[in-house]
Chains A and B, each alone.
Chain A
Amino acid sequence: MTTKSVPLATPVVPAKRPSSNLIATITSWRVLLSIAILCLLPWVLPSKALAVNVLIYGVLAMGYNLLFGYTGLLSFGHAAFFGAGAYITGIAIGQFGVPWYGAVLLGVVGGGVLAFVIGGLSIRTRGIYFSMVTLALAQLVYHVGLQASSWTGGENGLRGFTVAKIDLFGVSINFLDPVNKYYILMVFAALALWFVSRVLNSPFGAAIEAIRENETRARACGYDVERTKLLSFVLSGLICALAGTMSALHLAFVPLDVLHYQTSGMIVMMTLLGGASSFFGPFVGAFAFLLMEDVFSLWTSHWQIIVGSIFILFVLFLPKGIWGTFLAKVIR
């Protein structure tokens, strides 16, 4: 990362500036642009259910990327927050009769609290050890999900909280209708996009990038690195929990698999596929990942060999992910 003992009078690579105004424009309008694209999604994808999944996993990957791409922390435990959001929403609606908006709020806050606990415990470890502590703590959450079956339904999954109608400002919307459902959940996604965009533009956004770039220097500049990381962890957990609540509303079912480490793994892969440390990357990654699975699994039961090969090719030839590579091309 640092240039050690090599006296260089001239830079190795001629400095280049992102001269493209296009990128600047895209960046400043990124939230509205994303929403515009999301509006079209259900009409270009093979199914509405898939479009809703793009929303959910896009938000999930975006929340994850706040921690991974922007703060530089590789967590293997984000399934816990996704799952917490989903379970809390489902339990609130099904067992306490909380209205859907209240349940969503509870889910998000609950996910945030869990992130505070897991983040607080793990933030002091580094590198792959951090990844493994988050994995281990998330597995404990999985275990709770499995064992507390009177609350969570255990391995059978949480059921019995179908939201058939959304009542809003006196209007009753049929939530079982796929189009209605998509656009209602899109509002959540839009809020998440707006929130993340603001966070990234904020001084805090600058601070986490500084920590990702150089933790030592950031600390020497006066940033409390642990605290900043923890806040980033919690914000990331909040967004992932929101994705969880969306998933609960969408399926009216919470499978125990949401807490499984494979879900955590999938989040990482989606983010990397799209391109970490870019705003659109995670969404693009989620989109590509889900589309690939959907399309190939319809085509052959051996779809995993295709998906696996595509991953390999991506790492070798497009290491910045889909969106990252696109950006690099445009800037050049």
Chain B
Amino acid sequence: MSDKIDSLIRRKISRRAALVGLSAGASFIAMPWVARAADDTIRIGFPTPLTGPYAAEAKDQVKSAELAVKLVNDKGGVAGRKVELLVRDGKLNGGEAATRTLELIEKDKVHAVVGALSSAVQLAVNEVTRARGVIYVSISQSDTINEVKDFSKYTFHEALNPHMTTAAVARHAIKKGNKVAHLVADYAYGHEMLRGFKRALTTIGAESVGELLHPIGAPDYSTLMPRLRAMKPDVLCISNFGRDQANSIKQAADFGMKQQMKIVVPVLLHNQRLAVGPEVFEGVVGGANYYWELEQQLPSAKAFNDAFRAANGGAIPTDYGAYGFTGISSLLLAMQAAGGPDTDKVVAALEGLKYDVAKGAQHYRKCDHQSVQSVLVLESKKKADMKSANDFFKIVENEKPSEDVLRSCKELGFPA
């Protein structure tokens, strides 16, 4: 009897000991919120989803953004003032990101905000900065944010938008007379991409033979494949984002769809290609804001890549990562031109800015503050054709920047 009790106690103790060991690391509580000294540092807030499904993209963005800040500080900062980047985790949740943005503005007294990695989060941040007259450079894709309803004179859109990418991709991947089927994520961003494709198809003279919507974040697309196949399309446009893109392309490939049709996406995502491998993505065509092999065409891309490689142990910058660089760089260039972080002066400087920091000439359109820039059309390479581990894509086309590829100011609701 006493043996039993004894062993019971011993077991209890050992379990407890194991738990204490397990939790030793967790018990440490840090207090990182120290009062910020009122110095003349220029502070830029950078909310990005460091946790959640886009964490990999977010981390690339942070690396690129930090690089942009470092390059400026190495040259003595902006108007002699050091620049500091304050990275916050927005958790891919509009509420969280808005809260972090409020903290950045109210507590950290940032001079501008750059960031966000989803349409919803971007609009949330925009709502906060707009009400408080804070400069915001958005680096996430959306058509909605270009429209007059969400316009803020303090907000600038560094990222491409679905209208631009679908048009560019369609021009180079879809031919006149092609039959096109659509697989679309059922939310605003998905609908925007679908709308973009359909417009482009009309221009090209191709025919839409059907569209299927799927719930966002769906892990399984098997029940959609028979219907997509039954449409007998030449091209399948998959208008979704992130993991949905990887999952749906992978399952389309599993169902043997690629033998019958070409798969086209609005944005060909670097990290999703990384996540599922070359076999799955082989032959898929899609748009992009940046691809590292642009360095063969452009000196600014070469400079950006080299600086990035030096700072990150030889790694190459990714598509979404590049947004962090171009977004911060344009803002800092404008601040430089304005002679400091004064909001109105910086807004004026941004509106007049012409810059080429990584991907050729760019400028912000006057009416909606959309960055007019080149659009890349990429095709995913066969494994056999890859020259290096990072050699994912072939550049099919580098469309020159032009306001003509954007929706007109009038269509967006701006006074002519």
Contacts and interface: CB of A to CB of B under 8 A. Distances in A.
Given a CB threshold of 8 Å, the question of whether A touches B is answered with yes
B173 to A, nearest CB: 27
Contacts of A184: none
Given A176-B132, A253-B94, A305-B26, A146 B187 contact: yes
Contacts of A46: 33, 103, 107
B149 interface: yes
17 contacts: A47-B103, A48-B102, A49-B106, A49-B107, A157-B124, A159-B124, A159-B150, A160-B149, A176-B131, A252-B128, A255-B120, A297-B51, A298-B89, A299-B30, A312-B23, A313-B19, A316-B19
Interface string B116-160: 000110011011101110000000001010000110000000000
A295 B98 contact: no
Contact of B127 (A155, A253, A296): A253
A309 B23 contact: yes
B120 A157 contact: yes
Given A178-B102, A251-B98, 14 more contacts: A48-B107, A146-B186, A155-B187, A156-B119, A156-B144, A159-B126, A160-B150, A162-B131, A251-B95, A253-B98, A295-B30, A295-B33, A297-B88, A301-B89
Contacts of B91: 297
Contacts, number: 126
Interface of A: 46-50, 53, 146, 149, 154-157, 159-160, 162, 164, 176, 178, 247, 251-253, 255-258, 295-299, 301, 303-306, 309-310, 312-313, 316
B102 A298 contact: no
Given A154-B187, A155-B120, A247-B95, A295 B150 contact: no
A162 B26 CA distance: 40
Interface string B199-226: 0000000000000000010000000000
A156 B19 contact: no
Nearest to B118: A155
Nearest to B190: A155
Contacts of B124: 157, 159, 251, 253, 255
Contacts of B26: 305-306, 309-310, 313
Contact of A297 (B19, B89, B95): B89
Contacts of B50: 297, 301
Contact of B33 (A156, A160, A298, A310): A298
Interface residues of B, number: 45
Interface string B94-120: 110011001100110000000000011
Contacts of B216: 155
A298 B95 contact: no
B98 A298 contact: no
A175 to B, nearest CB: 10
B415 interface: no
Contacts of A53: 99
B31 interface: yes
A307 B33 CA distance: 18
Nearest to A149: B188
Interface string B15-39: 0000100110110011111000000
B93 interface: yes
Contacts of A176: 131-132
3 A-B pairs closest in CB distance: A255-B94, A46-B33, A155-B187
Interface string B77-91: 000000000001101
Contact of B106 (A47, A149, A257, A301): A47
B364 interface: no
A246 to B, nearest CB: 12
B304 interface: no
A24 B216 CA distance: 52
B46 interface: no
Contacts of B25: 306, 309
B95 A258 contact: yes
A146 B191 CA distance: 13
B13 to A, nearest CB: 14
Contacts of B31: 295
Contacts of A310: 26
B211 to A, nearest CB: 16
A262 to B, nearest CB: 9
B188 A252 contact: no
B102 A49 contact: yes
A247 B126 CA distance: 17
B55 interface: yes
B123 A159 contact: yes
A309 B25 CA distance: 9
A156 B120 contact: yes
B189 interface: yes
A217 B149 CA distance: 58
B120 A256 contact: yes
Nearest to B119: A156
Contacts of B88: 297-298
B106 to A, nearest CB: 5
A203 B123 CA distance: 47
B23 A313 contact: yes
Contacts of A256: 94, 120
Nearest to A310: B26
Given A176-B132, A251-B128, A299 B32 contact: yes
A154 B95 CA distance: 14
A309 B20 CA distance: 11
Contacts of B142: 156
Contacts of B22: 309
A253 B100 CA distance: 14
A288 to B, nearest CB: 11
Contacts of B189: 155-156
Contacts of A295: 29-33
B51 A255 contact: no
B188 A251 contact: no
Contact of B51 (A252, A299, A304): A304
Given A49-B103, A304-B51, A255 B95 contact: yes
